[in-house]
Amino acid sequence: MRGWLRGVLTGVITLAVLLALPAPATADLRLLTAARWRINRPGLGFFNDLGWRRGLYPKNDSLILQGCFVEGGLVAQVSPASLHPGVYVQAVPVAPILLRASIQRLEFFGNFGMLMTFDSPQADWSPPELHERQQKDGQLSGGWYGELRAQLRLKVKRVVTLHEQRVGWFRADLDVVGADQGWYEPINDLLMAQTDWLHTMKTTVGALAFGDLNHEFLVVALHWERYKVREAGTLRHIAGLVGLGRPRMDWWGAPSFGLLLGLMPVDDHRAGYPYVGGFANFSFSLAGDP
């Protein structure tokens, strides 16, 4: 069976099982959809979480324990060239901290961002080389991705701070990528070894321009990201100015938006190039207690 079809069937079966289960007490079935885009190198994807959320301390009025929860369910990343279904679990044990673990099947197909192989993880993967290989060497294939994530969120008066650490494990299928070869991973736009680790750090520090983070708001902040691939040695830094906001809480899906304008001071092939990216998040309560 083709890998992408196996991924679709796995996702459909898991979704059917999830929806057939009785709702846990004081639990809420939630859907979070995030559309993300970037230029240089162009990319577009939709990140979806569907899971049961249960409050941890429903009768506690402590500020640090309000809104804490545990949640688990399905995750699916979809783009014009890929489908990555999987499962996740996440928790907010205390208000400033989010912990998350997930495992996904990677499936690449279509005419954009197909899996491309290289002779080694240290090969030339400059933009012209990527373009040439995509035209003639892209393959229908996939792999596996596992991730651990920790996030610290703080607000002191009008100062807002967000720091995130991610450790990701990637493994491309051996029938396409040999043990000594490299491959281009299009989600993060990085070159990987056949089996590799990605460490990601993101820091945002800014000010609440107006509003309340629980309702309508606008945050203007400085932002920095660092990507480090262990085996391939790929390194990238992104620095810039970010705007985060929610125009109306009563709009469909309570949408929030973000826009990053920056540059890449450190990159294997595009150091000094501009970077522009953004997102739109939508959250829905489908069943249970809102």
Q: Where are the domains of the chain?
A: 3-288
- Choice among 210-214, 249-253, 283-287 with the minimum mean pLDDT: 249-253
Looking at residue 279, what is its pLDDT?
A: 96
Q: What is the dihedral of CA 187, 188, 191, 197, to 10 degrees?
A: -110
Q: Across residues 29-40, what is the average pLDDT? A: 94
Looking at residue 142, what is its pLDDT?
A: 84
- Choice among 32-36, 88-92, 211-215 with the minimum mean pLDDT: 211-215
Contact 143, 126 (CB under 8 A): no
Per-residue pLDDT tens over the stretch 110-165? 555 567 888 888 888 888 888 777 777 666 778 999 999 999 999 999 999 999 99
For every residue of 122-165, DSSP letters joined together read: TS---HHHHHHHHHHT-BSEEEEEEEEEEEEEEEETTEEEEEEE
Per the model's pLDDT, the better-predicted residue between 41 and 25 turns out to be 41
Looking at residue 115, what is its pLDDT?
A: 74
As its CATH architecture, domain 3-288 has Beta Barrel (2.40)
Q: Across residues 280-286, what is the average pLDDT? A: 92
